[in-house]
Structure 1
Amino acid sequence: MLSATPALEDVRDALERYGDNPSAFLALNQRTEYFRAEGIEGVVSYRSAGRYLIQFAGPFAADQDRAALLTAFRAHARKARKRVIAVQLQSTDAELYAGNGFTVNQIGASYAIDLAQFTLRGSKFVRLRNKISRAKRSGLVVEEADPLAVDDELTELDKDWLRGKGRFAKELAFLIGERTGTVAPLRRLFVGRIEGEVIGYISYSPVYGTRSGWLHDLTRRRREAPPGVMEAINAHAIETLGKAGAEWLHLGFTPFTGLDPAHEAPGASPMVAKIVRFLAEHGEKVYPSQTQVAYKEKWAPHALLPEYIAFEGKPSIGAILRLMRLANAI
């Protein structure tokens, strides 16, 4: 039996208790819908898209309740005459979904830095240090900022950033974080200024679970920003967050990267695998995966975490396109 729609505070509580996914905080994005079942503590986050309920991450519930919550959510979808697609699943989620009849494929990977081990010293970081130094010689000053205090400046920067993407460019949605909204005060925001003007920023979201810390999430820079600005902002954030006791910095999910046949789930769809490989090689217009992963590899991450997509029933091109439209990728 379906229980009442949970309040945002209840969802946040479920994420803090059960959210062992580096991107779990993104379930608090605006326009997200939530499902919970009578007698089960936990939530499912999703969005409706045509004939599908597109679930973000796995069920946020205790290990012993995750399968029951998934079963209840599938029943809810069937009652609405919709099918479930789940995206950004972790390895344990992939096992759960494959074991419950879903078709599961690796779709990409996320990357993470162990802050206890991280240092910018050493020969492998020479180019990164030089890039950061170059940005600082341009007059860059990095500081942590109150999101509300700099909202107008960042809104203008966002417009400039989007104009630089081209006439028909759209901001990605659903699978990335947000700068505004009810939960904005829970994030940490670092901005870079040159001569007082904000030239770039990075927003960091809380990460719960076994690799707790922060998620390097939303990033924006002005078109005229000198090289090294984003690297300098992130280096400053790493130092600040590490001193405050953070254990991990997650660099986020990148679709179509980190693909490995050894990571595939039992019964993976050859058709989906072929599409993902094609996009990995030719999909820069859909999502700049290679650019993103090149930035992340600069930091020599200590962990690569495969992430998955799961289809209830047989996957179809239409289902994949529906997800891509929801994410504003096409």
Structure 2
Amino acid sequence: MSAIVDADSPILRAVRTHTQAENASSFLALNTGNSVFTVPDLDGVIVYRRTGRYAVQLGGPFAAPDAYDTLLDRFHEHVREQGLRPVGVQLQRHDAERYAARGFTVNQMGASWAVRLPEFSLRGSRFMQLRNKISRAFRNGLQVEEVPAENCREALAAIDDAWLGSKGEQARPLEFLVGQVGGDAQRHRRLFVGTIDDAPVAYISYSPVFGTRAGWMHDLSRRVPSGSPGLMEAINSFAIERFREEGVEWLHFGFTPFTGLDVSNELPGHSPAFQWLMHFLWEHGEGLYPAQTQLAYKHKWAPDATLPEYVAFDGGASLAAFAHIFRACNAF
């Protein structure tokens, strides 16, 4: 069956319980606008979005080990019966191997990044520029607070409007593979907002991460374009200190396409042409996604873990299927 996901659906239970795939972005499954596929008597769910002739799946099945394969096969049968082609994105290595065994063409699409917090410190020469940016933001009057989203909806909307307006007339807010603020799942997220002279200037939303690298994911982040340098860095450093005080083990920075690419990560049967395309988009794909800018921000925090993530195509690698991933994300 398919249904709209909400915080009271089996989705939350599934991403909390079935962590064998170690997907730091699993909480994105609770975004509004997603659909969920389940099978009676099978312990697990599959989350996806329909776009055009494709069913774009977020991650692999969030399922018990003894239900994983059957649930995946039933999902593929379900979407094909509807005349759709399945394509999986943000698959972890565990998922990628299961797709490849079913004849899918599987390629690395990018990587996610994570920092281990107990040992983290901004001391040392490698963080000098980062410390300077953070100090500058606070000298310019930045104040940071963790706040409930429902208490600052107008402020967040003002930041969103200013941020989107700076991207040009054709800019669209991304969905699906990025988080959101609001909706039924908001009570599980954390929101840190920065103000200068009582005016909201930036925010970062953090989503929970489960599994052996449990912690929080630095998710949706936006700022007013005219704000002080170092706003995001200062807010994140404030959140890091809060998380460290609470004993949080990991801060994740989420998935960035076209980054962390390595031939050693590829599976047998991958597409060399698609592998070339990922490297090309790393060099020249700024118009599709600002991967270099995103990775530069993540590298400022000296990540301890780089985790490859994969895309799986039904049959051969398909540019149409790849384009529909970005269509599902509202990129165009």
TM-score > 0.5, shorter chain as reference: yes
**Deviation of residue 203 (structure 1)?**
0.2
**Deviation of residue 36 (structure 1)?**
0.9
List per-residue Cα deviations over 1:49-91 (Å, max 9, x = no partner): 1211110000001223211111111111122121210000111
The structure-2 alpha-carbon separation of the partners of 1:7 and 1:223, relative to structure 1 and needing over 3 Å to count, comes to closer
The structure-2 alpha-carbon separation of the partners of 1:246 and 1:52, relative to structure 1 and needing over 3 Å to count, comes to same
**Alignment correspondent of 1:183:** 185
**Deviation of residue 245 (structure 1)?**
2.1
CA contact (8 A) 1:5 1:35 kept: no
Task: Establish whether residue 216 from structure 1 lines up as the match of residue 218 from structure 2.
Answer: yes
SS in 2 for 1:148: helix
Matches within 5 A, 1:243-322: 243-322=245-324
**Alignment correspondent of 2:328:** 326
List per-residue Cα deviations over 1:216-236 (Å, max 9, x = no partner): 000000111111110000000
**Alignment correspondent of 1:28:** 30
TM-score, normalization by structure 2 = 0.96
CA contact (8 A) 1:145 1:190 kept: yes
CA contact (8 A) 2:6 2:32 kept: no
CA contact (8 A) 1:22 1:215 kept: yes
Structure 1: runs of 5 or more not aligned: none
SS in 1 for 2:150: coil
Aligned partner of 1:88 among 79, 87, 90: 90
CA contact (8 A) 1:201 1:219 kept: yes
Q: Which amino acid aligns with 1:280?
A: W
**Distance across 1 between alignment mates of 2:145 and 2:105:** 45
**Deviation of residue 7 (structure 1)?**
6.4
The structure-2 alpha-carbon separation of the partners of 1:7 and 1:225, relative to structure 1 and needing over 3 Å to count, comes to closer
The structure-2 alpha-carbon separation of the partners of 1:187 and 1:7, relative to structure 1 and needing over 3 Å to count, comes to closer
**Distance across 2 between alignment mates of 1:202 and 1:7:** 22
CA contact (8 A) 1:85 1:309 kept: yes
RMSD: 1.4
SS in 2 for 1:210: coil
The structure-2 alpha-carbon separation of the partners of 1:5 and 1:298, relative to structure 1 and needing over 3 Å to count, comes to closer
CA contact (8 A) 1:6 1:35 kept: no
List per-residue Cα deviations over 1:291-323 (Å, max 9, x = no partner): 000000000000000010001112222111222
> Which range moves more in the overlay, 291-300 or 74-83?
74-83
**Distance across 2 between alignment mates of 1:276 and 1:247:** 31
> Which range moves more in the overlay, 309-318 or 109-118?
309-318
**Percent of aligned pairs with the same residue?**
50
**Distance across 2 between alignment mates of 1:194 and 1:6:** 37
**Alignment correspondent of 2:117:** 115
**Alignment correspondent of 2:80:** 78
Q: Which amino acid aligns with 1:300?
A: A
**Alignment correspondent of 1:14:** 14
List per-residue Cα deviations over 1:226-250 (Å, max 9, x = no partner): 1111000000001101211211000
**Deviation of residue 271 (structure 1)?**
2.3
> Which range moves more in the overlay, 68-77 or 312-321?
312-321
SS in 2 for 1:120: coil
**Distance across 1 between alignment mates of 2:241 and 2:104:** 42
**Alignment correspondent of 1:234:** 236
| Aligned positions, number | 329
SS in 1 for 2:60: strand
**Deviation of residue 264 (structure 1)?**
0.7
**Deviation of residue 105 (structure 1)?**
0.4
SS in 2 for 1:112: strand
SS in 1 for 2:154: helix
SS in 2 for 1:236: helix
